[in-house]
Structure 1
Amino acid sequence: MSSLRVHSAQHTVPVAAPAGVVYGLLADAPRWPVLLAPFVHVERVDFDGARENLRLWHLRHGQVCATLAHRTLRPRERRVEFELHDVLLPGVPTSGFWDVEPDGADRCLLTLRHERPAGPFETPEALGTDVRTELVALREAAERWDRLDELLLSFEDSVYVCGSPEIVYDFLYRIEDWVELLPDVEWAEVTEDRPGVQATVLHTCDPETGRTLVSEAVRLCFPAAGRIVHKETVPPDPAAAHYGEWYLEPDETGVRVVSAHQVMLRESTVEAVLGGGARPVDARRYVREWLGRSSTEALNLARWHAENAVRRLR
């Protein structure tokens, strides 16, 4: 009987941020989609203060992978232990830990170790690449720690629809039709190789600057829950990351439709987009207005479709 091969990888990087800040980012997994580039969506299933179960969707070699994670948080040791189960490879878990070691008042050493049974085409080099990618993403987020309040913004827009949640959801799902319906959408391409997992490319026009904004995104569609989450893989400047969600809240007479956004700004592009002397506060205002306008147009059109369908049935 042949023994199961196990690939392991461990890397340590210095981080110019306090150890407590870095551990806090590790522990707060639901915020990862806006902080860490590889992660598309994270849901906390349950949490007792020390142990938690998560559902993770992340990008690996350009593909969306779904994972179940069991984590144990050890704040005293600043360590997070985990076991990951790939949804497509049941019974083949990845285990490991994150470890944060102080290296002075405002610096630390961050270590990530993975151990995974080897797949038929998997190499230690590939696993090492995955580890380094996650480390670099976390380090980049952590080293903005003293400016995160300025660079991160979250907001939402909503409408109430006196109509069918199913019609509203169908409109939000069929994003390829928006080019015919929304004035700012110039071109749209949607690929759905797996049900409910969409890769999109949108060209939209910014009416204030006249420039065409190109965004590439992954969308995860959950029709039973009335939710569509989306993460831009190539967000237009001045956004460094953009994660959002459409969700429906039905009641006895209709449905509240919400568009929620979380955005991380890219400081180095603020002046290039908004002109010399522009500051992050100007970029916050610009992004809020630009995304809010697009969201509101889509929400209002979704309401029009649903409420007109109700009138046609009467």
Structure 2
Amino acid sequence: MVTTLTHERVIAAPADEVYRLISDVTLWPVVFGPTVHVEHLHRSERDERFQMWALVSGEVHDWVSRRELDPVARRITFRQERSHPPVAGMSGVWSFHPLEAGRTKVVLEHTFSLTDDGALEAIRSAVDRNSTEELAALGRVAELGHPVGEVIDTFSDTVVLDGSLPHVYDFVYRSDLWPARLPHVTGVELSEDVPGVQHMEMGTVTADGATHTTRSIRICATDSSIAYKQLVAPKMLLGHSGRWTFRQLGGRVEATATHTVAIDPRAARSVLGEDTTLEQARAHVREALGGNGRVTLAHAGRFVGDPAARD
């Protein structure tokens, strides 16, 4: 049996801006709560294929999806290549319809079939809940009153370190050892029940002595990359995700720390002062998060360069 469910929401933002948030899946980890990481397998202007990791009932699941994008009609079709039972197949359509006063009606349609018709009500309930939450999250970011490119920011720091790629990768991968290796980390609890999927809780201290506890999920690709999503973002952010990438360059290693953030302008003003501009908030976030990444990579370089420290 094939079932189709349709959900709608009117969002107080221009259609092109709302479309952009859905068309660029690399932004989803900072827009949608369940989305942890997206890895493109193919990407062009009109079609793409990607692997997505997301929280489903508290557990991390992954799947591969294909999408076709039509920016002129503001329409995106999608289908999962491989679904998890009891779902036999899942596809759908996003469409964005301009309204008066710069508003947009967003329509999200899901069509699915099941391997067990007895699971229909459970799957229907899950699709209803997830669709409602996704549309609400979409509105939360789109209705901030600023273009997407101003509230969502991606930035990177790259360093080249002496040493071998496995040693540099292992320094970041073994975050449970960071309290003894990084001055700003006070404690880490790390678990990896599923190979390559880590759950991490970390305590840090800032230069002014303030302490913070963060929880993250990390997706690890051995000697290549470690992507993560912060489950509870700092006060001035609606979302924070990032990625460590590593590349061997002869006898040296190129390591890059990348961050993507969604800034809440009102929360930023409450933290930094009522006169704070969005540009100033972006600069503050870049320095704070980028600084931690640079410190981590600097210590990785010193650690990897000292054979005695690795023993």
Instruction: Name the TM-score, length of structure 1 as normaliser.
Output: 0.88
Aligned-residue offset at 1:47: 3.2
- 2:237 aligned to 220, 224, 239, which one? 239
The residue identity in structure 1 corresponding to 2:169 is: Y
Distance 1:251 1:91, change over 3 A: farther
Specify every segment of 5 or more residues in structure 2 that has no aligned partner in the other structure, as ranges.
Answer: none
Q: 1:114-153 residue pairs with structure 2 within 5 A?
A: 114-118=110-114, 122-144=122-144, 146-153=146-153
Distance 1:212 1:196, change over 3 A: same
SS of 1:154 mapped into structure 2: strand
* Residues 1:79 and 2:78 aligned together: no
Over residues 177-209 of structure 1, what are the superposed CA-to-partner deviations in whole Å (9 max), with x where a residue is unaligned?
11121111112111212111111111111113x
SS of 2:289 mapped into structure 1: helix
Which deviates the most, 44-53 or 251-260?
Answer: 44-53
- 1:113 aligned to 109, 113, 119, which one? 109
The residue identity in structure 1 corresponding to 2:59 is: Q
Q: CA separation in 2, counterparts of 1:215 and 1:111?
A: 34
Distance 1:222 1:49, change over 3 A: same
The residue number in structure 2 matching 1:184 is 184
Distance 1:145 1:89, change over 3 A: farther
Aligned-residue offset at 1:100: 1.1
Q: CA separation in 1, counterparts of 2:171 and 2:280?
A: 33
Aligned-residue offset at 1:62: 2.5
- 1:52 aligned to 32, 48, 54, which one? 48
The residue number in structure 1 matching 2:219 is 220
Distance 1:273 1:124, change over 3 A: same
Aligned-residue offset at 1:221: 0.3
Aligned-residue offset at 1:278: 3.9
Q: Percent identity?
A: 31
Q: 1:11-30 residue pairs with structure 2 within 5 A?
A: 11-30=7-26
Superposition misfits of 4+ residues, deviation over 6 angstroms: 310-313
Does the CA contact (< 8 Å) of 2:3 and 2:113 recur in 1?
Answer: yes
Which deviates the most, 171-180 or 115-124?
Answer: 115-124
Which deviates the most, 11-20 or 140-149?
Answer: 140-149
Which deviates the most, 252-261 or 134-143?
Answer: 134-143
Over residues 14-58 of structure 1, what are the superposed CA-to-partner deviations in whole Å (9 max), with x where a residue is unaligned?
011112222222222222223333222112222343222111112
* Residues 1:301 and 2:299 aligned together: yes
Aligned-residue offset at 1:311: 10
The residue identity in structure 1 corresponding to 2:23 is: A
The residue identity in structure 2 corresponding to 1:247 is: T
Over residues 70-114 of structure 1, what are the superposed CA-to-partner deviations in whole Å (9 max), with x where a residue is unaligned?
112123332111111456559822111111112125111101111
Between the two proteins, the alignment pairs up a number of residues equal to 307
Does the CA contact (< 8 Å) of 1:114 and 1:131 recur in 2?
Answer: no
The residue number in structure 1 matching 2:156 is 156
Instruction: Name the TM-score, length of structure 2 as normaliser.
Output: 0.89
- 1:38 aligned to 15, 34, 37, which one? 34
The residue identity in structure 2 corresponding to 1:83 is: R
Does the CA contact (< 8 Å) of 1:40 and 1:57 recur in 2?
Answer: yes
* Residues 1:229 and 2:227 aligned together: yes
Distance 1:28 1:311, change over 3 A: closer
The residue identity in structure 1 corresponding to 2:132 is: R
The residue number in structure 2 matching 1:104 is 100
